[in-house]
Each structure stands twice: as structure tokens, then as C-alpha cells.
Amino acid sequence: MDLTKTDEIIKQYEIAPQSLIAILQDVQDEWQYLPREVLEHIATRLQIPISQVFRVATFYSAFTLQPRGRHLISVCTGTACHVRGSGRLLERLQKLLQIAPGETTPDKQFSLETVHCMGCCALAPAVRIDEKVFGEVAVGQLPDLLEKYE
């Protein structure tokens, strides 16, 4: 694996343990997941044990060790969304995509995840696809919404 990009990311930060999370975030932004080789490389460069890097990479929900699909669908399961029916949205999406939260469709088009509140509570239930947040989503809207990202 080419590690040039990882080195470029690391270069922007101080070589110190406190830079670890920020570096992992940039890596995740770049590849949408944390490749194993990159984790090992970061551990070496920051001179911290791989166990610690792995601990941090698995502790925080923003990180994933699995490659993601082209589009990431995040269903908000915060309280406001929950009482306004986000559970039904999630159920329907699982049926439509035939995957569970945390999984990616076989054609690598979509990944599905749940998030604990993205702060769009007034427009609950909310669903985010990539960077775009959709408010007051109805179950019936979902097939059309997905089609736009096919």
C-alpha cells in the first residue's frame, strides 16, 4: 500500500500521542475507513504501540476498519428522531438495501449506519446521505431518495 498520503497527513501534526485522533480522522476522511497497514504505519511514526492505536480506532464510533460504499447513509437515532419514527425508517432502509447497520451493499454503492443525534432534532426524523442532511423524512420517500444516489 502506498503510504505517501498518510505521511503527508502525519506531517501536518506534531509527532506526539495527542495527534493520534486527528491523524486517524484525516485518514478516515481520505479512505472512508482505516486500513490496517495505515494503522501500523501511524503507530511506528508516532512511536506508540499498535495496541493503543487499535484501541483508539475501535473506541470511537467515527472510525471504521471496514471499507465503506460510495454513499454513506446515516439514520439518526437520537431521541427526537426516535419518537418521530426513525426506527421505521431504519427498518425500511434495511429492507430496501438488504443490509444491516454497519454493512455495505455487495455492489459497494451504499453503506448504512446509525448515528446518535446529529443535532437536527427540530426536523426529525433526519437521515444523512454523505454530506447532505434530509429533514422530516417519511418512509414512503426513501425509494426515491435512494434512486438519486444509484
Partner 1 sequence: MAIKQQSTLDTLREQGRQRLYPDVPRITVGMATCGQAAGAAEVYQALQEATQGTSIAVVPVGCRGYCQREPLVDVRIPGWPRLIYAQVTPDQARELAEAASNRQLVLDGALGREDNDKPLWGEEQILATDSVPEQIDTIPLLRDIDFYKHQVRIATRNCGIIDPASLPEYVARGGYQALAKVLEQMTPEEVIEEITASGLRGRGGGGFPTGRKWRSCREAKGEPHYVICNADEGDPGAYMDRSILEGDPHAVLEGMIIGAYAIGSPQGYIYVRAEYPLAVSTLREAINQARTAGLLGNDILGSGFAFDIDIVRGGGAFVCGESTALMASVEGRAGEPRSKYVHTVESGLWDKPTNLNNVETWANVPAIIAQGPDWFSSIGTEKSKGTKVFSAVGNVQNTGLVEVPMGMTLHELVYDVCGGVLDGRELKAIQTGGPSGGCIPAELLDLPIDYEHLTEAGSMMGSGGMIVMDDRTCMVELARYFTEFLVEESCGKCGPCREGLYQMLHILTDITQGRGKPEYIEQLEELGELLSWASLCALGGTAANPVLSTLRYFREEYEAHIYDKKCPAGVCQELISYRIDPEACTGCHLCARNCPQQAIVGDPKEPHQILTEKCIKCGICREVCKFDAVVVE
Binding site for partner 1 (CB under 8 A): 16-22, 24-25, 52, 55-56, 59-63, 77-85, 88, 91-92, 95, 115-124, 126, 131-135, 139-140
- Judged by beta carbon, residue 22 or residue 65, the one nearer partner 1 is 22
**Three-class secondary structure of residue 125 per DSSP:** coil
Residue 66, sorted as left (phi over 0), alpha (psi -120 to 50) or beta, turns out to be: beta
Q: How far is the CB of 2 from partner 1 (least distance, A)?
A: 25
Q: How far is the CB of 74 from partner 1 (least distance, A)?
A: 9
* Torsion on CA atoms 84, 86, 92, 94, rounded to nearest 10: -170
Sole residue written with cell 434530509: 134
- Judged by beta carbon, residue 1 or residue 138, the one nearer partner 1 is 138
- Judged by beta carbon, residue 81 or residue 110, the one nearer partner 1 is 81
Q: How far is the CB of 83 from partner 1 (least distance, A)?
A: 5
Sole residue written with cell 501534526: 13
Residue 2 CB partners (closer than 8 Å, separation 6+): none
